[in-house]
Amino acid sequence: MWEGFLKSVEEINGVINSYVWGWPTIILILGTGLLLTIRTRFLQVRKFGESLNTTIVPTFKSLGKKKQKDGRVQSISQFEAFSTAISGTVGTGNIIGVVAAILTGGPGAVLWMWISAFFGMVTNYAENVLGLYYRKRDSKGNLAGGAFYYIAYGLKWKWLAYVASVFCILAAIGMSGVQTNKISGSLAEAFARVTGSADNAETVKLIIGIIVAVIAATIIIGGIKRIGKVASMLVPFMSLLFIILALISIGMHYDRIGQAFGLIFSKAFSFEAAGGGILGFTFATVIKKGMARGVFSNEAGLGSSVIAHSASETREPVKQGLWGVFEIFFDTFIICTLTALMFLTTNDVTKLSPDMNDSVMSMSMFSDNFGAFGTATFSIILPLFAFTTIIAWSYYGEKGVEFFFSFMNEDKRKIPVTIFKVLYVVLIAVSATIHSQVVWDISDTCNGLMALPNLICLVALSGLVAKITKNYFDRKKGVDVEPMLSAYPDMNEEFKQDITSGDIEMQ
């Protein structure tokens, strides 16, 4: 009965997915990025150095220094906001998702991930700028924003904002399902390799799912501050560990690096079958797989990571927007690229097949290069990548629920939020045993649905993004113009006083 239900879900989702990830969505994603790139005059290129100098560089310089607390608003540091956002984007999609894209779409899918990320850098920038500009503050001083806020108060289409919040909730559940599924699948595979038996695989998966659910619940209850602190500790560690191992692996097969890049570029625009194990996949499939996995990985265009960024203490929308530029660069051009090169230099591409298990192939990528140590390390890295994504998306889903029930007062709103948190934790455990491809496909569909209202709004408000951007950089040059810090006059005046007095520095 359960298998029959899942089969029906898979078939229905397949039909929806074919429309959600059809050419109109692909064109909308690329078109939005292209429009924003033009209107900001290629900001992701012109201001890339600025994004480093105002984000990651000051963060390293400030390590160990005590920060002055702002008692008026309940916020988190810029780095904690970034860590929460990057923990939501750097997940299994960066390892297993890239492998899955190559298996089903061929090496050429990687180039389309790069293309989507290039435009995604400015798309994510625009999301953050609008997110901070239209964010609101509740009675307790908590700052909250996201796509539904700038759709409701910027575009002034409240009905679409409510639709976006529902899609956000569904995407949160789908994203956590994928992450848990990959944690359980990969650890069950590692357990089977150690014990030499896969007889109890389903039981092992369920136990792992329950453990992940329990740990996640303890962090989710603490809200954005606890999520931010956990993410800011785990993200740097897991990312650095992965980068080191990937570079060593690629270095071990340095003679295949040129061939790997050759395959990525030659297969990206091939209208013929790619050949070998990936025979029969067309140009359209390569683009769709690359784009879908690219968006799944870096989330540019979804309007998800902006929810975390909107809780930042910074008063300058553009400053947090520059974190978004670096976020996409780090996620796709560094982590995803290293995964792709590691996979392509380790394996014989002609022997790859879409029928291969992406989790098993991802683990083999580590075990083939590093033996038992690689298996053990992969069993640490992947759960950390996935777990931080789970806790970040719990916050995104929670904010979606809060907005959807915004017609209630704050106390009554706690009831649906609590119900969501309980359901979210339960589904973490349940999704551990579901067939992986079903979970991937459902999550892809939910991501696509979440992206549509956000992208429509970004196109409509692209002129405002350009205006806020110009306002910030004019002020940096010393031009005397009224700061554009918030869409609401009272908050704009308050934030203006903050940056003028130096309480919140304008770096």
Asked if residues 460 and 28 have their Cβ atoms less than 8 Å apart, the reply is no
d(CA 261, CA 369): 20
What is residue 330's predicted lDDT score, i.e. its pLDDT?
Answer: 86
Distance CA 179, CA 10 (A): 18
> Where do the H-state alpha helices sit in 336-409?
337-346, 358-404
Task: Dump pLDDT digits (tens) for 9-39.
Answer: 777 877 787 777 777 877 888 889 999 999 9
76, β-bridge pairs:
312
Q: Which residue has tokens 């569904």?
A: 170
- Is beta strand 143-144 parallel, antiparallel or unpaired with respect to 136-137? antiparallel
**Cα–Cα separations (whole angstroms), residue 157 to 20, 64, 86, 214, 486:** 21, 44, 29, 38, 19
- The region of weakest confidence among 102-106, 114-118, 338-342 is 102-106
Q: What is the H or E stretch that residue 222 is in?
A: none
Q: What angle do CA 195, 199, 204 make, to 5 degrees?
A: 75
Question: Once rounded to an integer, what is the mean pLDDT over residues 254-267?
Answer: 91
Could you give phi then psi for residue 431, rounded to 5 degrees?
Answer: -70, -10
Q: How far apart are CA 455 and CA 461, in angstroms?
A: 10
Query: Residue 95 above 90 pLDDT?
Result: no
Pairwise CA distance, residues 95 & 337, whole Å: 10
| Predicted confidence (pLDDT) at residue 503 exceeds the cutoff of 90 | no
In the structure, what pLDDT confidence band is assigned to residue 74 with cuts at 50, 70 and 90?
A: very low
Q: Rounded mean pLDDT of 242-268?
A: 91
For the segment 274-318, what is each residue's pLDDT rounded down to a tens digit? 343 343 345 455 565 566 655 555 667 788 888 888 888 888 999
Q: Which of 331, 326, 288 is nearest to 90 (CA)?
A: 331
Sketch out the chain's domains with CATH numbers: 9-59+74-255+289-498 (1.20.1740.10)
Average confidence (pLDDT) over 428-434? 76
How far is it, in rounded angstroms, from Cα 437 to Cα 103?
Answer: 13
Q: How far apart are CA 230 and CA 208, in angstroms?
A: 20
**d(C-alpha 105, C-alpha 359), whole Å:** 16
Helix, strand and coil in the chain, % to nearest 5: 80, 0, 20
- Residue 3: pLDDT above 70? no
CA-CA-CA-CA torsion for 484, 488, 489, 494, nearest 10 degrees?
Answer: -80
